[in-house]
Amino acid sequence: MARNIQLEEEETSISSRPHPHEREEYIYEAPWGIAAINWSVRPDHPFRLGICSELVNQDETYVEILKLDRNRDNYVSDGKLSIQDLRHPSKIMFVPDRSCQMKDLFATSGTCLRVWHIQREKIEDKVEAENIFQTPDPDCGPITCLDWNELQPSWIGTGSTDRTCTIWDIERSERISQIIAHENEVADIAWGAAQVYASISNDGSFRVVDLRDMDGPITNKLWKRDESSFGHVAWNKNISYYIAISSKSSVLILDTRAVRNPILDLWKQPEQNVNAIAWAPHLERSLCSAGDDRQASIWEIQADYEKQLPAKLLYNANTEIAQLQWSSCQPDWVAVAYSTKLSENAALTNNLLTIFKVPSL
């Protein structure tokens, strides 16, 4: 039976944004390594973050919702908003509902897609995709990535280890589309329009899929870069033909109007991996990258590509930055996750979450 998620069961009062803080940086130390982070986009829950843990005790994983405590003037975890998830979540996203007309939902990817409902400040109801959509199927691999469609918020796109990209309608409880998109497992997926998405694979391939024309030249075009292993894809929401892709040692900018070769290769440090990329939600040509160089840097993409300028430093961490997310609800704020290194021989655990204010660009 389809489940209606459109309307909140109780009235939602949109609170005003928090008063300006003098602090320009907050640090939250998680009790475990952080595998994924993301911002909530609802204006009635400003400065809220979701985080997923790495493996704990070999088989346990956790999901926490963090809130900015005005009294403590720092981020805190609420026990009522913490869950143990044995499905090994690899990514977390909140429903892209800026008008607060839908239930307060977030989704996680792992061995399956799961959609969770936060009700009365407690995670009371969880909707598991394998029960609604009959996934994972016996022949379906774990879900490696997800992206929530901002223009069609009942749709979630996922990529899997079995090389498929699948579009789910979580309101109607059905699978919209599924294709074998790559020759290897899907590394990331990103929506660019209501019915258009891009996916990448760790075999160095990139594909744009138009759901309106599944047999057309756009969907059937597979672009591949030899000797590359792609990790992340980000679609510019302000200039719709710009797509950023990260590989182990490069950040590529593609123009979807003519996908033959990247128009820019921003990162040229072969020994320094790129671990995260994010377009500025409020600026047309600003892209943030972070990685093994311990820096979060901002690139201003020039209209004249031959006059591209070097990146500007946004944040300098003590160790490699593993995660980065730019808030679309509070576009002056960026969150990064990195490690505390107790000694030279100690293993790195990405347990520090820093939320910092971006200087004027």
Give the pLDDT of residue 249: 80
Is the pLDDT at 354 greater than 70, yes or no?
A: yes
| 305: CB partners within 8 A, 6+ apart | 263, 264
What amino acid is encoded at 161 in this protein? Answer: T
- For residue range 144-196, what is the model confidence (pLDDT) as tens digits? 999 999 999 999 999 999 999 999 998 888 889 999 999 999 999 999 999 99
**Is the distance from CB of 91 to CB of 146 less than 8 angstroms?**
yes
- Of 259-263, 303-307, 314-318, give the range with the top mean pLDDT: 314-318
Write down the H helix ranges in the chain.
129-133
Q: List the chain domain ranges.
A: 25-357
Cα-to-chain-centroid distance, residue 10: 28
255-260-264-266 Cα dihedral, nearest 10 degrees: 110
146-182 per-residue burial string, b: 16 or more CB within 10 A, e: under 16: bbbbbebbbbbbbbbebbbbbbbbbbebeebbbbebb
- For residue range 77-132, what is the model confidence (pLDDT) as tens digits? 877 788 887 678 889 999 999 999 998 899 998 888 888 888 766 665 444 333 33
Residue with tokens 């130390």: 29
Is the pLDDT at 221 greater than 70, yes or no?
A: yes
Give the pLDDT of residue 122: 62
Question: E strands, 202-332, where?
Answer: 205-210, 222-224, 230-235, 242-247, 251-255, 264-265, 274-279, 286-291, 295-300, 312-316, 321-326
Q: Specify the higher pLDDT residue, 361 or 41.
A: 41
**Is the distance from CB of 311 to CB of 297 less than 8 angstroms?**
yes
Confidence of residue 2 (pLDDT cuts 50, 70, 90): very low
Give the pLDDT of residue 186: 96
| 37: CB partners within 8 A, 6+ apart | 49, 50, 51, 52, 92, 323, 325, 335, 337, 353
Give the pLDDT of residue 139: 47
Cα–Cα distance measured from residue 189 to residue 205, given in angstroms and rounded to the nearest whole number: 12
Cross-strand partners of 148: 156
Could you tell me the sign of the dihedral formed by the alpha carbons of 269, 188, 28, 24, in that order?
positive
Cα-to-chain-centroid distance, residue 185: 18
CATH entry, 25-357, from 2.40.30.60, 3.40.50.720, 1.20.1250.20, 2.130.10.10 = 2.130.10.10
**Is the distance from CB of 20 to CB of 144 less than 8 angstroms?**
no
Strand, coil or helix: 1: coil
Element (H, E) at 180: strand 174-180
Give the pLDDT of residue 6: 41
- For residue range 4-48, what is the model confidence (pLDDT) as tens digits? 434 343 333 334 344 445 689 999 999 999 999 999 999 999 899
**Is the distance from CB of 85 to CB of 63 less than 8 angstroms?**
yes
Give the pLDDT of residue 334: 97
Least confident of 67-71, 79-83, 261-265, 346-350: 346-350
- For residue range 308-344, what is the model confidence (pLDDT) as tens digits? 888 999 999 989 999 999 999 999 999 999 987 654 5
Other C-beta atoms within 10 Å of 142: how many?
16
Residue count of the chain: 361
Confidence of residue 345 (pLDDT cuts 50, 70, 90): low
Least confident of 192-206, 246-260, 284-298: 246-260
Rounded to two decimals, the pTM is: 0.88
Cα–Cα distance measured from residue 291 to residue 273, given in angstroms and rounded to the nearest whole number: 6
| 101: CB partners within 8 A, 6+ apart | 6, 7, 8
CB-count exposure of residue 53 (10 Å: 0-12, 13-18, 19+) = buried
Mean pLDDT of 259-283: 85
Q: Specify the higher pLDDT residue, 218 or 54.
A: 54
DSSP 11-30: ----PPPPPPPS-SEEEEE-
